Chains A and B, each alone.
Chain A
Amino acid sequence: MNARPAEIPYDVARIRADFPVLSTTTRGKRLAFLDSAASAQRPLAVIEAVDRYERTSHANVHRGVYQLSQKATDAFEGARERVRRFINAASLKEVIFTRGATESINLVAQSWGQRLGPSDEILITWMEHHANIVPWQMLCERTGATLKVAPINRRGELDIEAFRALLSPHTKLVAFTQVSNVLGTVLPIKDMIAAARSVGALTLLDGAQAVAHQRVDMQALGCDFYVFSSHKLYGPTGIGVLWAREAILREMPPWQGGGDMILTVRFSGTTYNELPYRFEAGTPNISGAVGLAAAMDYLDSLGIERAHTHEQRLLALATVACHSIDGLQIIGEAKEKSGVISFVVEGVHAHDLGTILDDEGVAVRTGHHCAMPLMEFFGVPATLRVSFGCYSNDEDIDQLVRALGRAREVFG
């Protein structure tokens, strides 16, 4: 990697030039894209890598003896190695490509989850995305296991004592997010993982909101499953990763059946392929994997820590700006936050606010953010969420503040 020397200032103008969509206009206004937590934009490096693969290297993987098929296989398996290196996994066998974080969690729930029974418990937190709630509810319905939920406080921080109290020898899995997609809260994952381990439970970490903003290291984290999506990491949609310890994967029954996940198929019985292929039935999203690898190259070339520092500066700036707006209430004021601010404005519904902001060129997420229990906890039907990426800048925040002023004009 050509890591840029730290003494060169983080050049956000130059970074913005790498993202074609950022120079487009919307409703006749400059686009202030403040919705990277929903899906980040793609840099040219990713767009071109996918384009190059489609033009020169596409065929099915792991099948043909011809050279083009070998090129596609090399590209796909090269991407797997890129991911392994990015998250510092011990081996390629531990890197399984899925459609995204949601599918990764469903894979674990449906395969690993088969071992659960009525006396078992799964523990999650109150700030999970629906993707880290519903698969466990479904699993509990199937197996008779119990889903427990660790509470949070009004600042949007996990109540770690209550979390510990909910752990017991019955707890078989603790599944939680590394960073809240709604509040931006960074969870105390080290303590949580250690506590889960002390009762013998496995841990699943939802890294969807974390991987693009901090270095994640599978050797250092100590969790057992880690999931994330490519599109929140400046890569394509429709591809994501499940990482799990090899010893655990070995014990897991296959999930989907089909081509690529088998060694031999006879009507008298089928033998399954080695890891990681055993969990990758059917032709995978090859160009997506190529794009994800390019996104990881790109992020490493910026320096993920430097991008994080930049986003933290914007978070502080925007938080101050939000506090200066009459009637605006920030939802989620944890001590440690990622580049996410959720808020409501007195007298203006989040959807009306979203439309007015859109009219001013400001793209934000409005609604329940796939976290209805969290909305209920804070007693709001919906919030407006601003989130930053490596390309966000001060002008985006200025435009947001002006647009919020416009909302006051319209709604009085």
Chain B
Amino acid sequence: MDLKDLYRDIILDHNRHPKNFGQLDPCDSTTHGNNPLCGDRLTLTLRLEGDRVSDIRFEGKGCAISIASASLMTEAVKGKDDLAIKHLSDLVHHMLTAHGETSAPPAELGKLAALAGVREYPARVKCASLCWHALDAALKHRANNLGETAIGCAAVSTE
């Protein structure tokens, strides 16, 4: 396992220059994600049209893996509906936790496949999955009309 498989150029680029960084105001749903283990925090703001995410931004502090993952996620889900996002989220979780897997991730993951190296570093899975858990919570709570929500340690667990 080479470190370069974890810290690929695309990851380092997204860490340095994250896409969709900031907050949408007004927005239709927002979530705070928090990973107490490493002190990572991120806030997602979403605009929704029906069951489609029409716009999304994230803001926060964290390691390169968490920032790049959130940046890549916002690019990947913008314009997609709930069902497509759920599918993508499942694929990402599978890719991140498939320890020992050597085959290439599915092509439909697109740029998100850059995070495949995480699967060899189990301690870092939570860094990469934090934003996806936050997105999941934002979409769920939107459905429940709960408005602003916060997810804590349990919600970012990937066990």
Q: Does A351 contact B38, Cβ atoms closer than 8 Å? A: yes
In the bound complex, residues from chain A placing their C-beta under 8 Å from that of B123 are 355
Indicate with 1 or 0, residue by residue over B48-65, a CB within 8 angstroms of chain A CB atoms: 000000000000011111
A373 CB-CB contact with B under 8 Å: no
Q: Does B124 contact A366, Cβ atoms closer than 8 Å? A: no
Q: How far is the CA of A410 from the CA of B11 in the complex (A)?
A: 11
B127 CB-CB contact with A under 8 Å: yes
Q: How far is the CA of A406 from the CA of B4 in the complex (A)?
A: 11
Q: How far is the CA of A382 from the CA of B39 in the complex (A)?
A: 6
Q: Does A367 contact B39, Cβ atoms closer than 8 Å? A: yes
In the bound complex, residues from chain A placing their C-beta under 8 Å from that of B121 are 355
Q: Does A351 contact B127, Cβ atoms closer than 8 Å? A: yes
B26 CB-CB contact with A under 8 Å: no
Number of interface residues of B (CB under 8 A): 21
A257 CB-CB contact with B under 8 Å: no
Could you tell me which residues of chain A, from 13 to 63, have a CB within 8 Å of some CB in chain B? 27
Q: Is the interface of B mostly helix, strand, loop or mixed?
A: mixed
Known interface pairs A356-B3, A410-B3. Does A368 touch B36 (Cβ–Cβ under 8 Å)?
yes
Could you tell me which residues of chain B, from 1 to 56, have a CB within 8 Å of some CB in chain A? 1, 3-4, 6-7, 12, 36-41
In the bound complex, residues from chain A placing their C-beta under 8 Å from that of B1 are 27
Could you tell me which residues of chain A, from 366 to 407, have a CB within 8 Å of some CB in chain B? 366-368, 372, 375, 380-382, 406
Contact of A368 among B4, B39, B64, B127 (CB under 8 A): B39
In the bound complex, residues from chain A placing their C-beta under 8 Å from that of B4 are 410
Q: Does A367 contact B12, Cβ atoms closer than 8 Å? A: no
Minimum CB–CB distance for A68 against chain B, Å? 41
A66 CB-CB contact with B under 8 Å: no
In the bound complex, residues from chain B placing their C-beta under 8 Å from that of A348 are 64
In the bound complex, residues from chain B placing their C-beta under 8 Å from that of A297 are none
In the bound complex, residues from chain A placing their C-beta under 8 Å from that of B40 are 351, 381
Q: Does B65 contact A352, Cβ atoms closer than 8 Å? A: yes
In the bound complex, residues from chain B placing their C-beta under 8 Å from that of A356 are 3, 7
A77 CB-CB contact with B under 8 Å: no
In the bound complex, residues from chain A placing their C-beta under 8 Å from that of B61 are 381
Minimum CB–CB distance for B16 against chain A, Å? 9
Indicate with 1 or 0, residue by residue over B98-125, a CB within 8 angstroms of chain A CB atoms: 0000000000000000000000010110
Q: Does B6 contact A367, Cβ atoms closer than 8 Å? A: no
A267 CB-CB contact with B under 8 Å: no
Q: Which of B3, B12, B121: most chain A Cβ within 10 A?
A: B3
Told that A349-B64, A351-B127, A411-B64 touch, could you supply 17 new A-B pairs with CB distance under 8 A? A350-B63, A351-B40, A351-B63, A351-B124, A352-B65, A355-B3, A355-B121, A355-B123, A356-B7, A367-B37, A372-B36, A381-B40, A382-B39, A406-B3, A410-B3, A410-B4, A410-B7
Interface residue ranges, A against B (CB under 8 Å): 27, 348-352, 355-356, 359, 366-368, 372, 375, 380-382, 406, 410-412
11 contacts between A and B (CB under 8 A): A351-B38, A351-B65, A355-B123, A356-B7, A359-B3, A366-B38, A381-B38, A381-B40, A410-B12, A411-B7, A412-B12
7 interchain residue pairs of minimum CB distance: A381-B39, A349-B63, A351-B63, A382-B39, A351-B38, A359-B3, A352-B64
